Amino acid sequence: MHSIDIDTVEMTLDIMKYAINRISNTSPEMGSPKQEQDLMDLVGETVTKEGIGGEKAFELFKDVLVKATVPVDHPRHLAFVPAAPTRAAILFDLVTSAASIHGAYWMTGGGGIFCENQAMKWLVQLTGLPKGAFGVFTSGGTSANLSAMIAAREAWRDKNEENKAYKALLITSNGAHSSVKSMAKVIDADLILVDDEEDKLNGKWLQQKIDGLSGIDRKRLFAVVATGGTTNAGIIDDLESIADVCEQEDLWFHVDAAYGGGALAAPSVRHLFNGIERADSITIDPHKWMFSPYDCGAVIYKNMELAKNAHSQKGAYLDIFKDKGAQGFNPADYQIQLTRRLRGLPLWFSLAMHGTEKYTQAIERGLSLALNAAKQIEAAEHLELVREPSLSCVLFKRIGWDAEDYRDWTYKNHQSGFALVTPTKWTKPANKIGGKEKTETISRFCFINPDTTEEDIAEILASME
């Protein structure tokens, strides 16, 4: 398996050819969903005692299996948070694999970690955090949020011996990402959700919630998680007033900007993030709006020492990495993972090749597609804009449709390989409509791919007529 023979050479050529074709393909096929049993009927068992051979396995993958997936970079894939890795970044993902670098410690990963840190320097600078702030690349927003929450909890416990006896308590908003709620479970912290009456969390609502806590709950409270671009609607919490409260109340202030973080590089909306520079930690997912291939998240800390106190792993076999000769930045010390791929390398190469200005342009493109979509929706008789676009998210309604209509429409478009746009739910707060709050099924666009066109939007909207 580790030797090089004619089969290996042929397989290498086949795979490179496929990779070149796929990377240069501007309109990849949408792919249609299939049940597991259907796939099994088509390909049979693939892992056997003798092996089925590289040629056969690759053929099954190319001809059958990959066709049952949705390429995230399809220009009419506007569901969830899609992705659109740059060609340079994807190519360098191949290089990252081929180079076989262990990215946990400088001793083994030095030159590669240098590259990651160059990219990280740009991210940190976008946040406006003070000198000394830095970060590491993670497998995604979930593990970035988890790493930050652990750092916050440990810092709180270290502040006061008494805190070690308490179960930690965290405040976030209704609009926060599901990962914040599940990572609170992972660290066994309780969670309080603030109703975001005006769509977004602000200092006033936060302060009211804190003032209403019992004495013991106030002692258990260690952090606030605000969102810099909710996944469903692109809403950015009022970070400035939340920062005021966190400062006043001596609470760790985390900003989850996994999706929205890309917009820090977009001058047209940068002001919406004012206050983010006062955060203790920030999550940004380069695999969302910074055009990195999966998977690449990032966690950034104001105070790296606090992160290190929480995350640095100890073991007899690890001492060598902390030796003088091996000294340098050790990514393993700042997040939950030990052995790690240098997952920031693709972003670095693409940034180095294209420069940051091109990133700004590509992100602004997503924002202007959202504005264009809103215009088209407002002009169409059969549609209604649910709210003005926030970042690159657009929420809209097909007048007269119920949940089932949206579902049927989604499946029809997906099955035919035309587009992937999915329904979501939106709750109108009581104070906006007078009376009880109301939850509706609606549809949603999220724009990431700069190759999506205004015509794509028009065609998708026309398919709702």
Ligand X SMILES: *Cc1c(COP(=O)(O)O)cnc(C)c1O
Residue 285 contacts ligand X per CB under 6 A: yes
Integer Cα distance of 254 and 225 in angstroms: 5
Those residues with Cβ within 8 angstroms of residue 168's Cβ, 6 or more apart along the chain or in another chain: 153, 156, 187, 188, 189, 190, 220, 222, 223
Q: Which of residues 140-199 bind ligand X (CB under 6 A)?
A: 140-142, 145, 177, 179
Complex with ligand X: residue 260 or 321, whichever CB lies closer: 260
Candidate list 72, 83, 201, 258; residue touching ligand X; CB under 6 A? 258
Judged by CB under 6 A, how many residues of this single chain contact ligand X?
Answer: 14
Fill in the DSSP letter of residue 296: -
Task: Give the nearest distance from C-beta 426 to ligand X in angstroms.
Answer: 16
Task: Give the nearest distance from C-beta 127 to ligand X in angstroms.
Answer: 15
Task: Give the nearest distance from C-beta 40 to ligand X in angstroms.
Answer: 28
Q: Which stretch binds ligand X (CB under 6 A): 128-136, 138-146, 366-374, 386-394?
A: 138-146
Q: Which of residues 92-121 bind ligand X (CB under 6 A)?
A: none
Is the previous residue joined to 295 through a cis bond, with omega within 30 degrees of 0? yes
Fill in the DSSP letter of residue 214: -
Task: Give the nearest distance from C-beta 60 to ligand X in angstroms.
Answer: 28
Integer Cα distance of 294 and 313 in angstroms: 26
Task: Give the nearest distance from C-beta 327 to ligand X in angstroms.
Answer: 31
Complex with ligand X: residue 137 or 259, whichever CB lies closer: 259
Beta strand segments in 212-366, E: 221-227, 252-257, 281-284, 297-301
Complex with ligand X: residue 81 or 442, whichever CB lies closer: 81
- CB contact burial 200-229 (16+ within 10 A = b; e otherwise): bbbbebbbebbeeeeeeeeebbbbbbbbbb
3-class DSSP assignment, residue 227 = strand
Candidate list 297, 331, 423, 450; residue touching ligand X; CB under 6 A? 297
Task: Give the nearest distance from C-beta 361 to ligand X in angstroms.
Answer: 22
Task: Give the nearest distance from C-beta 264 to ligand X in angstroms.
Answer: 14
3-class DSSP assignment, residue 166 = coil
Amino acid residing at 419: A
Q: Which residue is nearest to ligand X (CB)?
A: 141
Integer Cα distance of 86 and 147 in angstroms: 27
Residue 237 · residue 195 · CB < 8 Å = no
Residues of the shown chain interacting with ligand X in the complex, contacts defined by CB under 6 A: 81, 140-142, 145, 177, 179, 227, 231, 256, 258-259, 285, 297
